[in-house]
Structure 1
């Protein structure tokens, strides 16, 4: 396994500076935030891409994944979503994701993680929201095939797709080998699943992994490795035993005031436990 760190904790830093710090902390890779202030597809220039390529080369790190989940450039983490009642507003999320896939291809990134539909709108049924998300994913799967970048749905608490079972139901409906799973161990722990058990079910579709710790009450709070109640080592042992050989990205976006120390401390945990 290789370990990365997400730049969504470094939103107060330029992207080249974030890459430099993550590389210096000892990571093999970096997850790129496809949102402001880093690489928002609508405003990213060729000069921006050149600067990112140079920073990656200087830091000697690879790109673990493109994070096309957050969308604060328009409204917030979850809006606009794939299940907005307003069709034009919903379209903005779909179009953004098309552009994110093309941007990932320009940087030779294999995967882009996305939100799992979004919050089910008031007054709308789960079935209605599922239909809208499936429509969007089928459309995006065509772009994914064209540009060679897989779309990874990331189950998350309180959104349309929360559990491993809901993910599998969704995948069955979309029926595309260009749609996979961004397996966030902490998210599945939050909704009452054992991440190691869930991994057994989802492994054929897992192309990228997020880890963070989670408090004992299973609230959705990304917590420094070792500071919560998850069995981080048990999960990584299961992941290693599964034969997974992709990236595991540490995602600690709430630590925006101390991203450098947070990245270093997470790496110190991984090193002390024999993972890195």
Structure 2
């Protein structure tokens, strides 16, 4: 996880980022980790503007709220609908990740959530490692099959056998080194034609961990060696 762009900069700053990304043959799938600016902040308009400037089709956010708390769930739905009305004006979709301990955290809560939001401008950011760690010990493959029509983004990483938090360590997040059935999961991903990219997401090598760049590169290369044959 890294800060890829700053919020509230000039148009030339965003044009430079957009050009550099394109020059490396890469695509901007979304803007995420929005500098600590929440959806409930008036400053979120600057996040929307930044996403629009770099050509990001979506903004990825955590749902927030509290698990199994009806009032919290309703507040999340209301906030998402208000925010999606703002992002839609810029032609940008809002993508929410079902996340351990959040109001939206399971297949059931994600399905309910999608029934109560604007599905044209709101979608699910699916990360199997969070579904894996639900209290109900859900099957991520079955979950993805149920949520497939609502998926806006796909994240992939492995997870240790324990279903308890927190995520980690890094080694068991490397695809093929954990306990999630990634070949079966990717088989479903390969049928979701409306989502063009799958993003490898691994936490624990970010700034402050003193992880050497060579170690980060090893994790990336090992992950890609495992994943590339699955995505055909």
2-structure distance, mates of 1:81, 1:107: 20
| Map of 1:41 onto structure 2 | 7
2-structure distance, mates of 1:212, 1:111: 21
Query: What are the equivalent positions in structure 2 for 1:53-202 lying under 5 Å apart?
Result: 53-67=18-32, 70=33, 73-74=35-36, 91-92=40-41, 95-119=42-66, 126-191=69-134, 192-202=137-147
Deviation at 1:41, TM superposition (A): 2.0
TM-score by length of 1: 0.71
| Map of 1:30 onto structure 2 | none
Provide closer, same or farther for how the CA distance between residues 45 and 259 of structure 1 changes in structure 2, counting only shifts above 3 A. Answer: farther
Q: Deviations over 1:157-202 (max 9, x none)?
A: 1111100211121222224421111111211112122122111211
RMSD, aligned CA: 2.3
TM-score by length of 2: 0.83
Provide closer, same or farther for how the CA distance between residues 142 and 243 of structure 1 changes in structure 2, counting only shifts above 3 A. Answer: closer
2-structure distance, mates of 1:148, 1:176: 14
Provide closer, same or farther for how the CA distance between residues 165 and 97 of structure 1 changes in structure 2, counting only shifts above 3 A. Answer: farther
Q: How many residues align?
A: 218
Provide closer, same or farther for how the CA distance between residues 99 and 201 of structure 1 changes in structure 2, counting only shifts above 3 A. Answer: farther
- Conserved in 1, the CA contact under 8 Å of 2:66 and 2:73? no
5+ long unaligned stretches in structure 2: none
- Conserved in 1, the CA contact under 8 Å of 2:152 and 2:195? no
Higher relative contact order (CA 8 A, sep 6+): 1
5+ long unaligned stretches in structure 1: 1-7, 12-36, 75-79, 83-90
- Conserved in 2, the CA contact under 8 Å of 1:255 and 1:262? no
Deviation at 1:81, TM superposition (A): 6.0
